Amino acid sequence: MIEALEYEDEGESVAQLAYDKIPVRNVWFLFLYAYDLARFQGRFEAEIEDSPDFKSLIARLLCHAVETRLRRNLSFGYRRREDTLKRVRGRIDILKTESQDLFRRGEIACRFEELTIDTPRNRLVRAALTMLGSRLDDANLAHRTKTLAGALGRAGVRGAMPSRAEMASDQIGRHEADDRLMVSLARAVFDLVLPTEQEGVRSLLKAQRGDTEFRKLFERAIGNFFAAELSREEGWRVYPGKQFRWPIGAASPGIRMHLPMMVTDIILENVREDRRIIIDTKFTNILTGAQYGDGQRFKTGHIYQLYSYLRSQEEADDPLSLSSEGMLLYPAIGNDMDEAAELQGHLVRFATIDLAAPTEAVVDRLRRLPVYTSWTA
């Protein structure tokens, strides 16, 4: 993101103003798309309705997923081992065998792959259950998570949290839908739910450390929603997190290392319709108090940022760049808006999504976003 200068008070964020207005089912909807789990939409309706907050919902569904896997047996995986054995297994470590004179003792150093239930994904799930057991206010639900963590331990899953590298190496196949849900819920325990939630009735992810994590959830959910909903047959392509380069001509030797990067949130492109829409999501109020005079205005820094995305990428050999559209997308906090203006050949749009509305209304709003219907010349 461009770190643009701000000339007005940012005001309170969505995290400070709107959490107790966002229904749990809408946070669940964002979670499903953010974690590529849209196939589970429409399931777990009873759990959603019975959960007072998102933390409880995650705990209930994680317990459900783990119980399902335990009934069907947990997934196994392979891990590399090196050991001194009485017989050959896998590949022989000649150097170690000779240097330690193992042949004389009737032993041999081997390197081999071992089938194990102690996989990174299972360790992540056990760590998440253990963490939940100490954070939940519902005593019965906390006992349920601790019991399942103990069951995983007795099955042979260690309690140590896997590293990022270990998780990256443990790829989940397309046919492992139950594992995908279970692991995504476990990730949410550490990435999203526990670090930023405080007590409160129906409150969700309050800003103990700011709204960074929920902003990421909002951004990822919007990008993945468009990727799932916009038809490739109709020519749409979705590019999340594309990095732009500054169109530098003559420059001093050290300028490149000090210029900030430009990374967009979402780009929607349709070559057939000659359209490119650059979307930047903002998890804050769409309006702010003006520095001089009365009234509220769009935020200067956000406009400068989007304007830089549009104008800096204009190239004669890229026709879409000359007429690309820009959209700043916010959650609605008392201001439901969809305003636009043409600036030097580019349509610049300011839109909001009411996350407190019924889920069906949120979905309908997102589906209609690529088409601006309120334009009047």
**Taking residues 326-345, what's their average pLDDT?**
88
From 3-17, 154-168, 343-357, the region with the lowest mean pLDDT:
3-17
Between vectors from CA 166 to CA 165 and to CA 167, what angle results, nearest 5°? 90
Question: 81-119: per-residue pLDDT in tens?
Answer: 889 999 999 899 989 999 999 998 999 999 998 889 999
**Could you read off the pLDDT of 279-326 as tens digits, one per residue?**
999 988 888 875 555 678 899 999 999 999 999 999 989 999 999 999
Closest CA to 193 of 173, 176, 213, 212: 213
The share of the chain scoring above pLDDT 90, in percent, equals: 37
Whole-angstrom Cα distance, residue 290 to residue 296? 6
DSSP secondary structure of 289-340: E-SSSSSEEE-HHHHHHHHHHHHTT-BTTBHHHHS-EEEEEEE-SS---EEE
Answer whether residue 43 shows pLDDT above 50.
yes
When pLDDT is averaged across residues 217-237 and rounded to a whole number, the result is 88
Determine the pLDDT at residue 334: 64
How confident is the model over 1-36, as pLDDT tens digits?
Answer: 333 333 344 444 555 444 456 788 888 999 999 888
pLDDT at residue number 78: 85
| 9: phi then psi, degrees, rounded to nearest 5 | -70, 125
d(CA 99, CA 308): 64
Euclidean distance between CA atoms 39 and 15, whole angstroms: 28
Q: Is 265 helix (H, G, I), strand (E, B) or coil?
A: coil
> Where in the chain is CATH 3.40.1350?
212-368
**Mean pLDDT on 159-185:** 85
Q: What's the topology of domain 212-368?
A: Trna Endonuclease; Chain: A, domain 1 (3.40.1350)
DSSP assignment string, 43-58: --HHHHHH-SSHHHHH
What element of type H or E holds 268?
A: strand 266-270
pLDDT score, position 200: 35
